[in-house]
Chain A
Amino acid sequence: MAIDTDKIVHAVMHGSRIREEKGIIPLFGVYLSMISVQYYNKISFGFEKATGNDGFAEKLLVEAGQECGYATFQGVRSSWEWEEVVKPMIEDREDQIHCFVSIAIAFGWGDLTVQELVPGKKLVLRATDLYEAKGYLDVYGKADSGKCYMVRGVTGALMDLVYGDDYPEGCFQYTAVETSCVVKGDPYCEFIAQRAAS
């Protein structure tokens, strides 16, 4: 069975309209929030500017994205929504990656696609419209290096979850680089995750 992204997006859209009495959105095993992308970009790029663009903020933001992706998608795949909506579509291990990407699209992170997946070895994601890149371009213009730190971290996290050691021991066993980014003038953002050097 092919992965039905529309069905996953619909489940997220439907579920994220439900609030419990405390004003919290519990969905797919996590607590969701709807916050302006401007907020996230101000934090990430404000942090980077405050630390002098020396790679310090980039490293921490990618790590935050990877640790978050690892915990988030573990919560997602342990949820009853995953069991009910997503699991019936999954035929092999690799399908999990495609489902995680569908959920990232549903979360409004961008138009992500799986470009290449070599089981256990390599994952290539691409997107032309990520909120991080768009936000950077809008405020600062072009840059010499990729700026999609959250998605870069998440790319590594997807491989950690599917091919790394059992949760919670597998985080950071893979690492991702952003080989192309629209803030550099490239036609798309591309992320390649491979096993981290030990």
Chain B
Amino acid sequence: MTIDWPDKFAREGHELFLSGLPIALHCHHYNMNLQKTLETSLGSEGVLLLYKAAEESSYAGFTSFLEHHPKIVTAKSKLELASTSYQYCGLGIVNLTKVGPEGGIVTSPHSHHVTGWLAKFGKRQNVGCFFTGGWVAGVLAAIYNKHIGYFSVNELECKMTLARKCIFEVKIA
């Protein structure tokens, strides 16, 4: 089953929705500024806040999406849809073909956060895709009917440090 994402992107007055979920358009300046502000101010606690916010919002969004599309039943279809939704939201490319209910590896050759961070702040010394890590943890929990926090996602390599691609290891927490 394919989803017509543009059809799911709707405006009601001044509000924007993607498949019924309230969203906002923001650019890399704001997203990267928020990340830097939290990292600089709170350190690892700020990183965790970024990760958890992404995990909880992607879990809620994808759970709601799946409820509205009961014909999408197989894990493979759900993973494909998660990947296309990431792309439709302008977040980049995420490869979810090597991950399952026991975990696995997720790769991302391109992302909004990598492009935005490099454009705004340049090369990082450490991994920095906390949004994507949390987003992956949230959608996997939704897909496999697990609770938030069931999966832990750790970024092994990051394009923000000029690695070839971002590589995430997914484990059961």
Contacts and interface: CB of A to CB of B under 8 A. Distances in A.
Interface of A: 9, 12-13, 16-17, 19, 22-25, 30-40, 42-43, 46-47, 50-51, 56-57, 60-61, 63-65, 67-68, 71-72, 75, 105-112, 129, 131, 150
23 contacts: A16-B25, A19-B90, A23-B90, A24-B90, A31-B28, A31-B119, A32-B27, A33-B31, A34-B88, A35-B91, A36-B23, A38-B60, A39-B53, A39-B54, A46-B49, A47-B38, A51-B41, A57-B41, A68-B29, A68-B33, A71-B29, A72-B30, A110-B14
Interface centre among B9, B13, B57, by most chain A C-beta atoms within 10 angstroms, is B57
A65 to B, nearest CB: 7
B8 to A, nearest CB: 11
B133 to A, nearest CB: 13
A186 to B, nearest CB: 19
A32 B29 CA distance: 9
Contacts of B105: none
- Range for the number of chain B residues in contact with chain A: 35 or more
Interface centre among A31, A40, A131, by most chain B C-beta atoms within 10 angstroms, is A31
Contacts of A108: 11, 14-16, 22-25
A12 B24 CA distance: 12
A47 B91 CA distance: 23
Contacts of A9: 11
A148 to B, nearest CB: 13
B23 A34 contact: yes
B25 A46 contact: no
A175 to B, nearest CB: 17
Given A37-B24, A38-B57, A72 B29 contact: yes
B23 A35 contact: yes
Contacts of A33: 25-28, 31, 89-91, 112
B117 to A, nearest CB: 11
B86 interface: yes
A23 B41 contact: no
A34 B49 contact: no
A43 B26 contact: no
B50 interface: yes
Interface in B50-99: 50, 52-54, 56-58, 60-61, 86-93
Contacts of B56: 38, 42
A32 B26 contact: yes
B41 A60 contact: yes
Contact of A72 (B15, B27, B50): B27
A39 B57 contact: yes
A60 B90 contact: no
A87 B137 CA distance: 43
Q: Which 7 A-B pairs have the closest CB atoms?
A: A108-B16, A25-B90, A30-B27, A22-B110, A42-B53, A68-B30, A23-B87
A33 to B, nearest CB: 5
Contacts of A60: 37, 41
Contact of A67 (B29, B49, B93): B29
A105 B12 CA distance: 11
Nearest to B27: A30
Contacts of B90: 16, 19, 23-25, 31-34
